[in-house]
Each structure stands twice: as C-alpha cells, then as structure tokens.
A and B are shown apart, each in its own frame.
Chain A
Amino acid sequence: MSDAVLGAAAIARAPAIRAKVGRDDRLMLVFTLVIGLYLVVSLALPILFMLWKSTEVRAFAYSAVEMQVDTGQGPTSVGTLADVAGKLGLLSDVDQARRANSLTAAQLFPKRAFDGAPLKSVRMRFSGGSADGRLDLSGKPVEAGQWAEVPAQDLRRLVLRAGTQRSLANYAAYFSNPALTQSIANSLAVSLITTAIVVLLAFGFAYGLSRTMMPLKGLFRTIAMVPILVPSLLAGISLVYLFGNQGLLKDLMFGARIYGAGGIVAGCVFFTFPHAFLIISTALAVSDARLYEAARVLRTTPRRTFFTVTLPGARYGLISAAFVVFTLTITEFGVPKVVGGDFNMLAVDIYKQVVGQQNFAMGAVVSVILLIPAVVAFFVDRTVTARQVALLTARAVPYAPQPNRPLDWAAFAFCSVVAGLLLLVVGVSQFAALVKFWPYDLSLSFQHYAFEGVDGGGWGSYFNSLQLALYTAIIGTLVVLVGGYIVEKGRGFVAARTGLHFLAMLPMAIPGLVLGLSYIFFFNDRSNPFNFLYGTMAILVVSTITHFYTVSHLTALTALKAMDREFEAVAASLKQPVTRMFTRVTLPVCLPTGLDIAAYYFVNALTTVSAVVFLYAPTTTLAAVAALNMDDAGQIQPAAAMCMLIFYTNLAARGVHAVLTRVLASTQAWRAR
C-alpha cells in the first residue's frame, strides 16, 4: 500500500523529460517545412485568397467624401456624398461602381446646379481612413484630407474613384441571377444521372470480370482504362461526330440535338467509367469466397446470393465509386464545354465568367458554390473508404468463379457492348482526325495533324505538353515520395506531420478550375513574392502536381506502409542519417511505386484542361487546351487529331511504364519472393 502511494507521489513529482532535438529531427523538420511550404503556397493560400476575393466588391465610399458647394454664398457644406446621394440621383455605392469605376463631379451635377441654384464651384475632400478609394484632380491623386476645388465649368476634372469593400454583394448578385443559379440544378441533375448510369455499367462490367468465367477478360480490362488516356473533351468531340448535325448516327436522334444535358451525360459516362470500374472491381476482389460456399451449402438461390452476399460485400466500393463519379462529373469542364450548348453547368460558368466576361469576382463566387458539393462528397468518400480498408485487411479467401454458361455468355455480351462503345468513342475521333473534310470528303489524310492555321498553338502546344508532363512526372513523384515519407515515417512533430497529411488530402476536394482560378488571384497579385511564376511553365507544373497530389500521395503512403516500421530506428542506431536511409533503402524499394506515380502524373498532365486553362501563356500553350480552343473555333477535326495525339503519347507512356516495371522485377533479384 505505502509503496503504491510513494510511487504515485514520485511520479507526480518527477520532472518531465524534454527530448533533445537530434540531427535526424532537424533534417526531418527541414523537409517537413519545405514540403509544407510547397503545399501551403500552391494550395492553401491560393484557395483562401480566392475565398477572400469572392467577398470583395468595388464600391464608392460615399460616406468618406465630404462636399461643399458654392452657389454664390461661398463654400457651404452639404455633408458627405452619402447624405446627398439620393438628391443627386446616385445608385447605391456598389451598383454605381458596377456601372463604372469612376465618377466625375460633372456626373453629380449634370446641370451645374445644386438645389436649383447655379453652381460656381464644388469642393470635395476624401477622408480616407478605413475606406478604400481616391479623389483625382486633373488626373492627379489628391491626398486624403485635402480639399480639391473645381469651378463649375471644369467639373469633369474632379474624379472620384471606387475602392473595394468586403461584403456578400457578389453572392447576392449571383443568387439574384436565375441564369446563373439554374446551373446549380443543372449540374446536380447531370451529375446524379451520370452517377447512376456509370455505377450500374461499371458494376456490371466489374462483376463480369471478377465473378464469371467469360473469355477475353484481360482485353476488357485494358479497354476499360482507355478513357483515362484521352482528354475528356474527346468524348464531346466524338459525340458531335456521331450525333451532331453532320453526325454518322444523326438519324438515331430523331431530330433531338446532342448539344445539352444528354450529350454531357453521355460524355461524362465515358470519361468517368474507368474510375468507377477500378474502385468497384477492387471491392469485388476482396469479397470472401467462404460466404459463397456458405450460401451454396445453405442452398441459397443465385438471385438471393447476389442480393445477400455480392451486393453487401461490394457496397462500400459502390458508394465510393458513386461519390467519385459524382465529384468528377460536377467539376467536369471539357465535356460540357464541347457538347453543353446552352445548357449551363457550374464549371463552365466559372470559365465563362473569367475568360468570357473577365468577371473574376463572379468566377470566384461560382467556384465557392462548386466547392461545396465537391468538399461534401470528398468527406463522405473518405469516411466510406476508411471502412473499406477494414474489409481489405480481414483474412478473406479470394473467390474463384465456376463456369456457368448462360451467366458467362450474358456477361460477355454485356462487356462486349460496353467495351465496344468505349472503343467507338475513341475510334470516331480517330476517324474524324484522318478524313479530309467531314462529312463531304471521307478520303484519308494526315493534313489535320499539321495543325496549320489553327487556334491554340499546334505542334508547339504538343511539345509544351510533353515538357509539362515530364517535369510533372519527375518533380511531382519526388515531392510526393518525400512528403509521404515524412507523413508515414517521420518521428515527433506530430502536429506538423498531421497538417502535411491534411494538406496532401485536400486537392482531391478542389476542382481543377477552382484551383486554376485561385492561382490567377494569388500568383497574379503584384505584391506576391511568387508573382514571377505567373505565365511560366513552372506555374503549370506546380498547379498540375498539386491538382493530382492526393491520389499520388495515397499511393506513396500505401507503399511506405508496407515497409518495415523499424528501418528508421535501425538506421538511427547505426548512426546513419535519415537522408542516407531514404536514398539507399526507401527510394530503391519504392521504385515501382515511384514509376506508378510518375505514369499517373504524366498521363494526367497531358490530358488535363481544367486547372491549366486559366494559367497558360502564349509561350506555354498546351495540347489539350489547344484542342479545346480549336473546338471552340470550329476547327473540330484538328481538335480530334490533337486528342488522338495525346492518346497515342499516353499509350506509349503506359507501354514504357509496363516495360520498366517488368525490367525492375526481373533485374533486381531481391524483388523476387
């Protein structure tokens, strides 16, 4: 008894040990700060800056402007502009600024009279203080607090300039404009319909591949991945060639037009299919064979087995796939841009506001609106995925399908139709890219690959894109591996590492267009020390690395988790710095994963449009963006040619990736198990 009391007292009294910061800790801290700074500058700050900017409006600071008029009795104060705004017929401070950024005294007194009395002169003074804005006299700024006086005949020399104001006026303007808010309903509807269709198709496809003995599974698996290798707008182009006014299958439309919701859904189904297929087939692959045996022993009907075993087993996969497809669709820009017609979607609205109307503030507002469903879907998906992991780690026996002729042939027929449609979409673009003059001269030619006289930069864009893809693949992979290493293997600095992980997960929830727009705000600001990046290849590389960071990060984490947790402890006990550990062991062991990440970055850098569409400069035009611009300019055949060029490049990249992976496995004896 007394021992225990003594012990407790001693524990309470003992001073806490403060661990000394060692060399490895310092090294880790430096790398944590570097990667953390990268993610803060390339992600957190731009997004926050955009949120800030979305609440910024131009307004005249009426109440900061004092005025005196002279109608013969000498200068007489009439109070501030706010006091006389009604009398002078001014609009509200914000509305007036929306009309024009400046206001001359001549506009205040169009009749050169005040209260019916003719004016001799007007004096104004700007109190400054917290209000933003300025008075100019004869083109020169007047210092705050100084009176500026103009005689009646020179009223236009005195100019009041609008400043900025924090308010939700932009949001109010957005919600009072039905043409804009209609997009919310449109986007939700298109996304929900696409999600339903894709999840059904992908489930059927994955079911056929994992649960039946149908032939040609490998081929189907490959074809399912094809949409990942092309820019999504290719689907739009193909749809136009299939069902547009001069489309091959126009008659199937019975007079309906492809431009609109139907076209968007069809295009989005195409490009989101592989994402859903991958997730669902992973979920089906972990299902436990023992459950099926139990069902057989209990003489459960196949139908019942399907509903009581198969579907529940795959439910997390289905839910996760649904959220991913939903997010991809609602944030999609390429497809609705090409086949949307006048059916407005949120993502296209952002583009139109920014590129079409130069209304950056409204672009920011739409971005914030678009962020909401994306962020919600992201968090739900993360929760669901966390549960799926628990299923994965359970010791399950993999399911081996048994021959079943009717089911196998039905699955084969279904998969053939789906795969056929996927190939048709790509094939039509390829055909259109190769014929001389659609639809009048269908003889073959490579003329569209010359990209002569087209918008967007032609072959120059292609080589820029290659450059971007290579830089992104190499730099991105290194950044991601180092970042993942810190998160997974670092010691101490728990808060910093948790923060790093959070930042790394965030890009998944940020639509590309939103990221791109936030870069305009952030990097184009002259007071930003990183302003020099604007308009360079570097900013394209940075935005692309960040845009596709999350999946890469998760891939890296998976590989790092598979490595022994004690390597770092062993290295420290052997007095070897953590950097040597990383380069001698971690990097070589993770090389195949590094290749996967590099391939992922490469392919996405070539196909992406959304983030970079706001960021390219005349010297850094990109292939996929060029295709978009050609399509916009009606040069659809060259656009198709450019998309196919990207496709073949990606195909080659995947080939190189496969060869390198195989070479690694066969030349590095230690990889053999």
Chain B
Amino acid sequence: MTLVAADIALAPAAAPERPPYLVVTNVTKRFKTFLALKGVSLEVREGEFVCFLGPSGCGKTTLLRAIAGLDIQSSGTITQGGRDISALPPEERDFGIVFQSYALFPNLTVRGNIAFGLENRGMNRGDVSARVEELLALIGLTEHGEKYPSQISGGQQQRVALARALAPGPGLILLDEPLSALDAKVRIHLRNELKQLQARLGVTTIMVTHDQDEALSMADRIVVMNMGVIEQIGTPLEIYNDPATRFVADFVGAMNFFDGAVSHENEVQVGGVRLAVDGRTPARGAQVTVAIRPEDVRILGAHPSAGLDAPNTLKVEVGDAEFLGSEVRLSLNYFTSGPMVAQTSQESVRALGIQPGKRIDVCLPADRLRIFMSGANHV
C-alpha cells in the first residue's frame, strides 16, 4: 500500500515521459551489394505525424517497407508499442498502409474495399457495415459507397484507400507518397484534410514524401534522409531554420552557398569580403561554406532597420528578376562563384526601382549566416 502511494506521489515529479511508440534502431537494408539503408535510427511518439523527406532513391520507401514488414531489413531492430516486430511478417504487425497507386481492389465497391479488412475476423455483419458507414462519413463519401474505384476521382480514391487502411483501427498508418498522383490543387486541399483527419483520430502516422512543402506543412516532425542515412530529425521549423547539414540546408528551401575560409574567430573571408558570423567558427584557416537563405538577404532601403553602416554590407549589381506572384527573386552578381539569390516583396522592388543592371546595397545579417565545413557535411 505504501509503495503504491509513494508511486502515485512520485509520478508527477518523475516527468511522465512515455516511451516512444515506434523505435527504429540501427536499421540497415542491403540489396545484393547495394546498401539502401546504412544504420538508421529514429523514434516516433504515439499520435505523432512524421514525414520521411528526401530525394528520389534515398531509401524512404525502403525504410517504410521495413517498418511494414514488406521487405524486412537486413539488420537492426524495430519495436512498436514495446513489442519487437523486427522479424515479423506484415500480417502479424499492426499497421494500415496507403500506397501511391492506392491499390484499391477494382472489382469491389467503395464499401467493399473499406469492409475488406473488417470481414473474416469475427465481427458480425451489422458491426462491419456500421463501421464502414462511419468511415464513409469520415471521408465524406457516403453518397459514393456503391461506386467502383474506376468511377470516382483520384482524390476520392485516395480517401477510400485511407479509409480502408483505417478501418480495422491500426495503431500505425503508413503512407507512401499518398498525394503524389494527384494534381496540384487537389493535392493542397487533401494535404489539409489528411492532416486534420490525423489530428482528430490521433493515430500515429508516417508519411513518405519527396515534396518538402508537403512535409513542412503537414508533419509534426520531419526525418530528412539522404543516400540511406538520416541527415536530421526535427520539427519543420528546426529543419528550415537550423539545418544540421549542408545537405538539409540545400534540400529544404532555397539557399545561397559561398566557399570561404575562417580568417578570425567569428569572421570568414569570402572572395574579397570579410563576413562577420554569429556563433562558433572552426579553427582559423579552415575551409568552410557560408550559407544564407534568399529571404534573409536584406536589400538596404527596403528594410528601414538596417543602415548603410551595418556589418556585412555589399554593393551588388542586379542580374535578373524573376516574378513569383507577390514575391520577386533577384539574382545578384557579386561573388565570382556565381550569382547570389535574394527574395523580396514586389512592393520593395517597386519602391526601390530595382531592375536588371541597377546597383544596390545588400546586407547579409550575421545571425542569418550558417557555416558548414567544406567537404564534410557537418559544421
């Protein structure tokens, strides 16, 4: 009795950090001689929406299929809800999956598809059809229950595939590029819908995508992968603002890179210019790459806060202006290593009379500059 009481008393103090729901530890996958996954580890918390993001061929699908048991990893362990599922065949795991192709059964109606996973497991007919109706309502396709997959739109098919995966109430939903077969408008609409649905149901979800906008707008956390390794795991904000590696900086969002060398502590020499930087710098003389996002390049005059005497101010010539709707992307000629790209609003371009050939002053704020070691991927 006393022990239990003590437990209860202690519980809040011990910080109720629940163990992660899905734990992937040191997973590798080898296809003959090719290593598609090179020791991947990550944790997914219950109810979380995680995106695997990376360029084509980086191993996202391979990792997802290993988690599903469809192509079991060569080594490493995977546990789900505390159970070691590393070697289990898919039918003994607990997940629902939606593929890029949706893989809807063409000869079954929408209802038939959703009911497929409910039948044959001891549920009575009434419960099955009640569950099917519930899911149809959830995806807003109650009217279309008797149609065949070929008779509904791509977006509707995608929702049916999701409903079919959700039907048995799995603990984990796996989505492999579920939106990539749709056209742009539908995709953005479904992005929101999917995210809301996931939040409402609170089901742990992993989605594979190579579309960074998709990942940034939907995920609680993003796992950025490249060539079979994880480059960074973090919230969309962390990934965008604090890319851990040059690869992440380059892959997510746009980024300017300049080669240089550390000249002093907190100072890097790039071409003929010394740039002050915040934060740690490697040892003096080290070859580094300096990076800055286009929207962080300040065009002086456009920002009243920055005066002409601000540090890291450069005189540049406008090369080209590309209109992206409300924003304008300017390519600025300064460093010999190629043009620098700056992004600013239409309004400031108009106000400053910027046009190709004009010379302007820009500032590279020290707190927005990132430093990566040349050659190696890391700081």
A residues with a Cβ closer than 8 A to B are: 1, 7, 10-11, 14-25, 491, 564, 566-567, 569-577, 580, 584-585, 588-589, 668-670, 672-673
Contacts and interface: CB of A to CB of B under 8 A. Distances in A.
B89 A569 contact: no
B107 interface: yes
B92 A20 contact: yes
B305 to A, nearest CB: 40
B73 to A, nearest CB: 6
Given A566-B99, A670-B107, A20 B88 contact: yes
A25 to B, nearest CB: 6
B236 interface: no
B92 A573 contact: no
25 contacts: A10-B26, A11-B38, A11-B39, A16-B75, A17-B72, A17-B73, A17-B74, A17-B75, A17-B86, A20-B92, A22-B92, A23-B89, A25-B89, A564-B101, A567-B105, A569-B103, A570-B97, A570-B103, A572-B89, A573-B90, A573-B95, A573-B170, A576-B119, A589-B106, A669-B151
A669 B148 contact: yes
A7 B75 CA distance: 13
B121 interface: yes
Nearest to A13: B75
Given A569-B68, A572-B91, A14 B120 contact: no
Contact of B28 (A14, A24, A585): A14
Given A22-B89, A574-B164, A668 B38 contact: no
B149 interface: yes
Interface in B28-52: 28, 35, 38-39
Interface string B47-88: 000000000000000000000111011111100000000111
Contacts, number: 119
B116 interface: yes
A230 to B, nearest CB: 37
Nearest to B104: A564
Contacts of B168: 574-575
Interface string B111-153: 0000011011100000000000000000000000000111100
B107 A585 contact: yes
B103 A567 contact: yes
A79 B16 CA distance: 99
Given A19-B72, A23-B91, A574 B117 contact: yes
Which 8 pairs from chain A and chain B are nearest by CB?
A22-B89, A574-B117, A14-B75, A670-B148, A572-B90, A566-B103, A19-B72, A564-B103
B99 A570 contact: yes
Interface residues of B, number: 48
Contact of B76 (A14, A24, A564, A672): A14
B96 A670 contact: no
Contacts of A576: 116-117, 119-120
A456 B77 CA distance: 69
Nearest to B117: A574
Contacts of A22: 88-92
A24 B95 contact: no
Nearest to A591: B107
B69 to A, nearest CB: 8
- Residue with the highest number of chain A CB atoms closer than 10 Å, among B28, B101, B107, B165: B107
Contacts of A24: 89, 91
A589 B89 contact: no
A545 to B, nearest CB: 27
A566 B175 CA distance: 13
Nearest to B100: A566
Nearest to B165: A573
A669 B109 CA distance: 10
Contacts of B99: 564, 566, 569-570
Given A22-B92, A573-B90, 16 more contacts: A11-B39, A11-B75, A17-B72, A17-B74, A20-B87, A22-B90, A24-B91, A567-B103, A569-B99, A573-B91, A573-B97, A573-B170, A574-B116, A574-B168, A670-B150, A673-B150
A575 B91 contact: yes
A594 to B, nearest CB: 13
A41 B87 CA distance: 35
A236 to B, nearest CB: 46
- Residue with the highest number of chain B CB atoms closer than 10 Å, among A566, A567, A574: A574
A18 B87 contact: yes
B324 interface: no
B108 interface: yes
Contact of A17 (B87, B107, B164): B87
A566 B70 CA distance: 10
A491 to B, nearest CB: 8
B5 interface: no
A575 B121 contact: yes
Nearest to B146: A669
Contact of B149 (A491, A573, A670): A670
B6 interface: no
B376 interface: yes
Contacts of B88: 20, 22
- Residue with the highest number of chain B CB atoms closer than 10 Å, among A7, A566, A577: A566
B97 A569 contact: yes
Given A573-B96, A575-B168, A1 B91 contact: no
Contacts of B229: 7
A668 to B, nearest CB: 7
A232 B284 CA distance: 90
- Residue with the highest number of chain B CB atoms closer than 10 Å, among A23, A567, A569, A672: A569
B105 A580 contact: no
Contacts of A673: 150
A268 B86 CA distance: 61
A6 to B, nearest CB: 9
B195 to A, nearest CB: 22
